[in-house]
Structure 1
């Protein structure tokens, strides 16, 4: 009985969500501009020689802010270039018996440029595309921060569009895979993240 009630409520919610939007995707503008805001969770990982007993990694939540543009190729396909400022929260910890433990932040702030190719499946859409991360460094490597280098990744994501009279609201869930190392001398240290983003177009 509980499953039937839950299924009914879910169906009503989905119907209400879609029912509030009368606009057809075929009538949308060819070009849209907007902004985004959301949160991310850093996923810094170490492989190979960077992974040993004297190092540890901690990852926490951060924030993202950005600008975007959508170009509709067709009702089903669109391209979305984006620029986002990401406030990340990853630390690398070094442990030593003879000296005090040391902790360093890696890429606390980055400017990211993405070009996503998206395919609509009704209201939801899926997308993928390249991501270039440029670390924003306000100072050289210090006692709390290790300087990182520009690195490259690929994004995979899922979103859903709700078209209203004045704007399009599109929440997205995205995972970004780091393809290149983020430090010049620390091999196999890669930066990934998962993000929940709210787009307003």
Structure 2
């Protein structure tokens, strides 16, 4: 859905809020647990986690300028020094996470791209899953959440093709303290699906 343009969501203001706008290798304490969310939206999910676990590191990625501005505002209001915000495409993350390995990678309610000719744009498509391996720890997990049944079913095949094992699957995920704005809105109209996948090292 097209986002309403925000007058103050300028590049200058995003920079003032500390948003990374161009590929820059991140310097992160590798001894800390690191969580990455791709497609963070307005940031309800990732800012809630970062606020509750100040000893951990969180990285939020959002490509939409207006939405990213809302996310950055939340970070600023909550004074989250443990949250890094990136405004860029997921395909460029290799340039940011050069020396970073994450424990958990969250894909929350990403675009389902329902038309078959667009399936390769899905964030769970095998080409993307193989890219994630570059910055996922050996025992790291991908947590995928969606309300789109066809995307959820298709993703099982994608994870299998990319040599991931689905270690947990939930076809009716219960509400929690950590939900996106979209999830809160969509829960009234149908089930939320979630799977957890790990790399198959055999």
**TM-score for the superposition, normalised by structure 2:** 0.22
Structure (1 or 2) with the greater helix fraction: 2
- Which structure has the greater CA radius of gyration? 1
The structure that is strand-richer by fraction is 1
Using structure 1 for the length normalisation, give the TM-score.
0.22
